[in-house]
Amino acid sequence: MEHIYNFSAGPAVLPREVLQQARDEMLDWHGSGMSVMEMSHRGKEFMSIAAKTEADLRELAAIPDDYKVLFLSGGASSQFAMVPMNLLRGKKSANYVNTGEWSRKAIKEAKNYCAVNVAASSEDANFTYVPAQDTWKIDPDAAYLHYTPNETIGGVEFNWIPEASRLNADMPLVADMSSSFMSRPMDVSRFGLIYAGAQKNVGPAGLCIVIVQEDLVGTTLPGTPTMFDYKIHVDNDSMYNTPPTYSMYITGLTLEWIKGKGGLEAMEKINAAKADLLYTFLDSTDFYHCPVATPDRSRMNVPFTLKDPALDEEFLKQARARGLIQLKGHRSVGGMRASIYNAMPPEGIKVLVDFMKEFANTHA
């Protein structure tokens, strides 16, 4: 099979070494005679996998002891409801920052449970920038402040952490970190709750990782389903029901891989260099265009358009022939999108840029 570079936004590329190890352990995990898929989630083998995955995550992200880590199913999208159900704690409203499609979905879902104050929005410019914090209109009586550090579809990323507590000491910051999780160091103590679907940067679909400050857990809206109550999952170490065991295992292998690369500081350096290579090229030509404001460009998802959209199909076809796949942009934005998560090797960006140069030269 020819070598391919997969630029999918998610489910996305995983480290080759991780997939090779999973292959080697597929039929017989560590002499157990079983595949991880066949193990009881309460057996000692899987319990050891779960414990190591959590320990590695805590170590890599320097998660403080008063934070709980949960491994849940239902994807990041379930958190759009679970967050208000658990974090309103008697309050009637929540602050949301609207920077794109994923923010919008979170807002829409939250409106089923509370009043939503949209503290800031970049909808006026088709979600191509991050609104500066001094323009935000925060409701000080709201329960929390929710934002999306990296908008996967628009390719807009916060390079700073909002300061909710400066405006109200009792306002936890909530982040949908799905597409930038573990791509750079994060100061967990600045957040009340972080959630991330695994399938962008750390593992297969089906798993959502939640990191929550323990004092925030325990008060739910009346009628909250058992499975949507953080306290249930905290009290049962994410084993109230069957968690997505195989996804947890692959995530564990990916975290080990990140450790082997030198941890989150090292990942950040690699990711910054990859993104820089691509953006520097995009800015050097008027054949391609990236619509996102320069300081807010995502290191994970790089949207770009061709000068002549009539060439889109030909671009994708020739890219595919070179082994550069899944570059088609999201239908709401058009053009192209290169998702360059942790597991995309720097070589993949070089091959992409070389191809883009050549395509521009032959079609200018």
The footprint of ligand PLP (CB under 6 A) covers 10, 75-77, 102, 148, 152, 176, 178-179, 197, 200
Q: SS3 for 227?
A: helix
Supply the minimum distance, in Å, between the C-beta of residue 176 and ligand PLP.
5
200 is catalytic: yes
* Token output for 85: 């159900």
φ/ψ of 154, rounded to 5, equals: -80, -20
Q: Pull the structure tokens for residue 142.
A: 């709201």
The smaller minimum CB distance to ligand PLP, of residues 69 and 360, is found at 69
Question: DSSP characters for 79-107?
Answer: HHHHHHHHH-TT-SEEEEEE-SHHHHHHH
Q: Residue 315, SS3?
A: helix
- Among 200, 257, 296, 328, the active-site one is 200
Q: Among 29, 102, 136, 257, which one carries the catalytic annotation?
A: 102
CB closer to ligand PLP out of 81 and 306:
81
Shortest spacing between CB 198 and ligand PLP, in angstroms: 8
Residue closest to ligand PLP when measured from CB atoms: 75
- The minimum distance between CB 105 and ligand PLP, in angstroms, equals 7
Residue 121 CB, nearest distance to ligand PLP (Å)? 16
Q: In angstroms, what is the minimal distance from the CB of 109 to ligand PLP? A: 11
- DSSP, res 215: G
| Closer residue to ligand PLP in complex, CB, 21/77 | 77
Q: Shortest gap between Cβ of 21 and ligand PLP (angstroms)?
A: 24
Closest CA to 357 of 326, 331, 322: 322
The CA-CA-CA angle for residues 262, 52, 5, to 5°, reads 50
CA-to-CA separations, 129 to 123, 184, 292, 294, in angstroms, rounded: 9, 20, 6, 8
d(CA 178, CA 26) in angstroms, rounded, equals 27
Is residue 139 within 8 A of residue 119, CB to CB? The reply is yes
Phi, psi of 347 (to 5 degrees): -55, -35
Q: How far is CA 334 from the centre of its chain?
A: 21
Return d(Cα 10, Cα 16) in angstroms, integer.
16
In the numeric block, which tokens belong to residue 270? 């690699």
Catalytic residue among 29, 68, 139, 176: 176
Of the pair 183, 315, the CB lying nearest ligand PLP is at 183
Query: What is the SS3 assignment for 72?
Result: strand
User: Nearest Cα to 121, choosing from 112, 130, 134, 109?
Assistant: 130
- Least distance to ligand PLP, CB of residue 201, Å: 9
**AA identity, residue 234:** V
Catalytic site residues?
102, 176, 200
